[in-house]
Amino acid sequence: MRRALFPGSFDPLTLGHYDIIKRGVTLFDELVIAIGINADKTYMFPLEERVRFIEEAFQDEPKIKVTTYKGMTVDFCKKIDANFILRGLRNPADFEFEKAIAHTNRKLSEIETVFLLTSSGKSYISSSIVRDVIRNGGDYTGLVPETVMVK
């Protein structure tokens, strides 16, 4: 089975993430979307809400599973028997950052990283931009799937 892990904080899930997931799921038998838990990081959305955003967005896709994890991504990949890590790239800076992580992960394990370029119309979207729009009362609805609702 070709199982891939798509790790991230998804704070919140964006249309950029959604794009990578929709395209990535066609490449694998199963795609595990894993929300990393980092105790040193402050999140805008609680973990349960981030899980809900993703589960509802992909409720009709049986090849997608949603979970959470702590610790190193490669260790979690081994735990769930994932042979691939899926990552999205928006720009050259993303590539340089992700390349270093991919090389480190490859050094630590046999897990391959697969990169997909975000569709051009979504390459400017990041969770940090979405959070800033939300904090400042802007219209964020064109940046996230419908399942992401701010109360």
- Distance from C-alpha of 26 to C-alpha of 30, rounded to nearest angstrom: 9
In three-state secondary structure terms, 36 is strand
Is 17 a residue of the active site? yes
Is 109 a residue of the active site? no
Residues 2, 127, 135, 151: which is the catalytic one?
127
Residues 3, 22, 41, 109: which is the catalytic one?
41
Dihedral of the CA atoms 138, 140, 142, 147 (nearest 10)? -150
- Distance from C-alpha of 29 to C-alpha of 51, rounded to nearest angstrom: 21
CA 74 to chain centre: 15
Phi, psi of 64 (to 5 degrees): -105, 130
Find, among 35, 10, 49, 46, the residue nearest to 130 by Cα. 10
Residues 3, 9, 17, 151: which is the catalytic one?
17
Residues 2, 70, 79, 90: which is the catalytic one?
90
Is 127 a residue of the active site? yes
Q: Among all residues, which ones are annotated catalytic?
A: 17, 41, 90, 127
